[in-house]
Amino acid sequence: MNNSQSTPDWLQQLEEQSRISQQAFMDNISTRLRRPRMTEAPAHPYRGAPEFWSGFQWSEQQRIDKFTTHFQEVGGHVVRLQTMGEAAEFIADHAMQMGARYLVRQQQPELAALRLEERLPDVQISSWNSDPDEAWTARAAEADIGVVIADGAAAYTGTVMVTSAAQQGRSVSLLPTVCIVILPVDRLYTRLGELLIPMDEIGRENLPAGMHFISGPSRSSDIENDLTIGVHGPGIIYTLLVG
C-alpha cells in the first residue's frame, strides 16, 4: 500500500519512473524504424484537410439553413430568433411548459442579462460556480434545464462547440435533462476545421481543459439497433440561433 505516502511525493516518484521508461520506449520506436531518434519536427506536407476543402464557404443564410437541417436530422431542435430578449422569452416559456423546477446556467454576463430569475420566479435557478461551497455537479445533475452559450459552431456537421472555464461548467451542457444552447449567428462557421484550426493557433497554454463539440441529443443504437435518445446526456437539445 502506498497510501501512507503523500500524493505529491507519490506523483513525483511516478514521474521519475515515467521519464526512465520514456527513454526506452522512444528508443525502441526509433530502433524499429531503423534510424536514430528524431528530435526535430519533420516536414508535414499533408497537414489538415485536402486543399480544395479549405476554400469551401457557405453564405450566412446557407450556414443557417444547413446547420438547421443537419441538427434537426439527428433529433435536435433549432429555433431562429432575432434578439437575446427573444431567447430569454423562449427559455422562460419552455421552462414553464415543461414544468421545470431547477435550471442551471453558465455564469456569463450574456446569460445573466436574460434575467431568467425574474421571468421564472418559481424555478430554482443557479449560476454555475457562483458559490465555492456549493456541490456544483449535484446542482447540474438535478437540473431539468441547462443553459449555455456556444463558443462556435459548424454548419457542415451541425455542431456547436462549448468550452470549459471557471464560469463555464462542463456539466451544464451534460447533466440536465434538457440542454439549451444559445448560438449567436456570427459564431456559426461553415466547416469544422474553422473551429479546430484556431486551437493550433492559440497554442497549448491557452486551451481550455474541456472542449466539447455537440451535434445533437445523446443517443444510442446498442439495443437491436433501435435508436434511443437521452441515454446518458440530455435527450432534448435546443439551439437558439440568435442575431
Partner 1 sequence: MNPAQSTQGTVKERADVALNNDFLRNAVKFTTERLRSGKQAAATEHGNWEEWRERGRQIRLHTIAHLDYYLNTFVENARKNGVHVHFAPDTAAATDIVMTIARHKQAESVVKSKSMVSEELHINRALELAGIETIESDLGEYIIQLAGEGPSHIVIPAIHKNRYQIAELLSEDAGEELPPDTTILAGYVRRKLREKFLGADIGMTGCNFAIAETGSMVLFENEGNARMVTTLPKTQITLMGMERIIPSWEDLEVMATLLPRSATGQRLTMYMSGITGPKRTADGDGPEEMHIIIVDNGRSEQLGDPEFQELLNCIRCGACLNVCPVYRHIGGHSYGGTYSGPIGAVLTPALNRNVAEWDDIANASSLCGACYEACPVKIPLHDMLVYLRRRKVERGHGNRWESLGMKGFAVLMANSKRLALALKMGRIAQKPVVHDKGITIKMGPLKGWNTYRVAPSMADHSFREHWQELSEETRRTAPPMDAQTRDRMEQILRQRRASGITGGQHE
User: Interface residues for partner 1 in 83-102 (CB under 8 A)?
Assistant: none
Listed residue (198, 146, 188, 196) closest to 169, CA to CA:
146
112 is a site residue for partner 1 (CB under 8 A): no
Grid cell digits, residue 202: 492559440
Is residue 163 within a helix (H) or strand (E), and if so which, with residue range?
A: strand 159-163
50 is a site residue for partner 1 (CB under 8 A): yes
Q: Please state the closest distance from residue 12 (CB atom) to partner 1, in A.
A: 10
Query: Parallel, antiparallel, or unpaired for β 152-154 and 159-163?
Result: antiparallel
243 is a site residue for partner 1 (CB under 8 A): no
Residues 6-35 that bind partner 1 (CB under 8 A): 7, 10-11, 14-15, 17-18, 21-22, 24-26, 28-30, 32-34
Query: DSSP string spanning 104-166?
Result: EE---HHHHTT-HHHH-TTSEEEETTSSTTS-HHHHHHH-SEEEEE-SEEETTTTEEEEE-BT
For partner 1, the binding residue among 67, 90, 102, 128 (CB under 8 A) is 128
Residue 186 or 204 with smaller CB distance to partner 1: 204
For partner 1, the binding residue among 68, 108, 171, 190 (CB under 8 A) is 171
Contact residues for 161 (Cβ-Cβ < 8 A; gap 6+): 150, 151, 152, 153, 154, 195, 211, 212, 213, 214
Q: What is the size of the binding site for partner 1 (CB under 8 A)?
A: 92
* Binding pattern for the stretch 136-165 against partner 1, x by CB under 8 A and - elsewhere: xxx-xx--------------xxxx----xx
Residue 168 or 242 with smaller CB distance to partner 1: 168
Place of cell 531518434: 37
Q: Please state the closest distance from residue 232 (CB atom) to partner 1, in A.
A: 4
* Residue 104 φ then ψ, to 5°: -120, 140
191 is a site residue for partner 1 (CB under 8 A): yes
Query: Burial level of 196, CB count in 10 A (0-12/13-18/19+)?
Result: middle
Grid cell digits, residue 136: 456544483
For partner 1, the binding residue among 37, 80, 101, 115 (CB under 8 A) is 37
Identity of the amino acid at 85:
G
Residue 92 or 158 with smaller CB distance to partner 1: 158
Q: Please state the closest distance from residue 130 (CB atom) to partner 1, in A.
A: 9
Q: Please state the closest distance from residue 228 (CB atom) to partner 1, in A.
A: 4
